[in-house]
């Protein structure tokens, strides 16, 4: 079966002053896969997914999603297309209840625009919230203020917010950062489950998570993609070893 391209960037670049955080990157993502992006700190991973999600506007290059050019679309418009980003630093509404947090996402994906949101049905929102919360197993904390959740649960809430948006592409920026070993294991199971309904793009430092989840791995260093392939290819790749270890090729 031929893979369908979901997302493609062509020569996309982002400069901050003289620094090319992302430098002419061609990146392609197929529908239904779990892809991990790895690389040392400052490699441009978060910048790249920010360009994809629309948090940052590219300095040059183009981005297509489902065959359509989305380069000029604002972040909130891209959410409407199905591109959902969950933050690296947990970003929830701490003073609002878990229900309200997820309801904001559910309401967005059910209603079209500002006028539509006036006539949306609260029951449909509630059903979607309960479904999303159930998938991340937080049902018993629905009415708790989000700020009172344990850290691991806050990350799950963030994922539930992403889910309630009914994403086609779910971008997870270091989702397991700060989680305990046990929480990480169940988080991996959750991501595998999510991958049945959405394409997953994952930025992750924890290599055991990456090797367990990702079908393909993209390696970035200094704003460019230096390798891409299945997990075992990447493990053997000398350019990757150089980027990570600073030395390490056979000829040296």
Partner 1 sequence: MTAGKTGRIIVLHLAVIAALFAAQYFLPAYHHGNVARILVLASFAVGYNLLLGYTGLLSLGHAMFFAAGMYGAGLPLYYFDIGVIPAFGLGLLASLALAFCFGLLALRTSGVAFLIVTLMFAQAFFLATLYFNEITLGDQGFVLSEQARTLNLGGVGFSFADPTVKYNAALLLFACCMLGCLALVRSPIGRVWMAIRENEPRTRMLGYDSYRYKLLALVLSGVMSGAAGAGYALLFAYVGSTFASIQYSIFALLWALLGGVGTVLGPLVGAGLMFYLVDIAGDFTSSYLLVVGVVLVVLILWYPKGLLGSLRERWLPWLP
Give the binding site for partner 1 (CB under 8 A): 53, 55, 74-77, 79-80, 85, 87, 91-96, 100, 103-105, 107-109, 111, 114, 117-118, 120, 122, 125, 142-143, 161, 165
In angstroms, how far apart are the furthest CA atoms of the chain?
Answer: 68
C-beta separation of 134 from 99 below 8 A: no
Q: Cβ 247 to partner 1, closest distance in Å?
A: 39
CB within 8 A of 185, min separation 6: which ones? none
Q: Cβ 71 to partner 1, closest distance in Å?
A: 18
Q: Cβ 138 to partner 1, closest distance in Å?
A: 15
**For partner 1, which is the closer residue by CB, 9 or 109?**
109
CA neighbor of 37 nearest in space, from 235, 221, 241: 221
User: How far is the C-alpha of 81 from the C-alpha of 168, rounded, in Å?
Assistant: 8
Tell me how far CA of residue 216 lies from CA of 38, 40, 82, 155, in angstroms: 11, 18, 22, 24
**For partner 1, which is the closer residue by CB, 111 or 207?**
111
Q: Cβ 196 to partner 1, closest distance in Å?
A: 23
Q: Cβ 126 to partner 1, closest distance in Å?
A: 8
CB 100: neighbour CB atoms within 10 A?
A: 15
Q: Cβ 187 to partner 1, closest distance in Å?
A: 21
**For partner 1, which is the closer residue by CB, 1 or 119?**
119
C-beta separation of 11 from 25 below 8 A: yes
**For partner 1, which is the closer residue by CB, 51 or 165?**
165
**For partner 1, which is the closer residue by CB, 10 or 55?**
55
Rounded to a whole number, what is the distance in angstroms from the first to the last CA of the chain? 43
**For partner 1, which is the closer residue by CB, 85 or 187?**
85
Q: Any idea which residue has 């270091």 for tokens? A: 174
Sheet holding 19-30, edge to edge: 19-30, 5-16, 60-65, 68-69
User: How far is the C-alpha of 247 from the C-alpha of 252, rounded, in Å?
Assistant: 8
């Amino acid at each position: 079966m031929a893979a369908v391209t979901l997302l493609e960037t062509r020569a996309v670049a982002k400069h901050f002053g003289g620094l090319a955080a992302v430098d002419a990157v061609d990146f392609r993502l197929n529908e239904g896969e779990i892809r991990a992006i790895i690389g040392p700190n400052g490699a441009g991973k978060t910048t790249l997914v920010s360009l994809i999600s629309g948090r940052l506007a590219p300095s040059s290059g183009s981005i297509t999603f489902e065959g359509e050019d989305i380069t000029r679309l604002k972040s909130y418009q891209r959410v409407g297309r199905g591109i959902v980003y969950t933050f690296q630093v947990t970003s929830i509404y701490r003073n609002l209840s878990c229900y309200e947090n997820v309801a904001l996402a559910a309401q967005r994906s059910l209603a079209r625009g500002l006028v539509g949101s006036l006539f949306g049905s609260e029951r449909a929102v509630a059903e979607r919230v309960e479904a999303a919360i159930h998938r991340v197993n937080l049902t018993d904390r629905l009415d708790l203020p989000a700020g009172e959740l344990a850290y691991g649960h806050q990350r799950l809430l963030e994922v539930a917010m992403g889910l309630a948006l009914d994403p086609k592409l779910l971008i997870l920026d270091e989702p397991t950062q700060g989680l305990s070993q046990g929480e990480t294991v169940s988080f991996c199971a959750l991501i595998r489950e999510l991958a049945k309904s959405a394409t997953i793009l994952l930025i992750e430092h924890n290599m055991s998570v990456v090797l367990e989840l990702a079908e393909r791995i993209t390696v970035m260093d200094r704003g460019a993609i230096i390798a891409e392939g299945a997990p075992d290819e990447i493990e053997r790749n000398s350019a990757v070893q150089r980027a990570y270890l600073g030395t390490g090729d056979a000829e040296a």
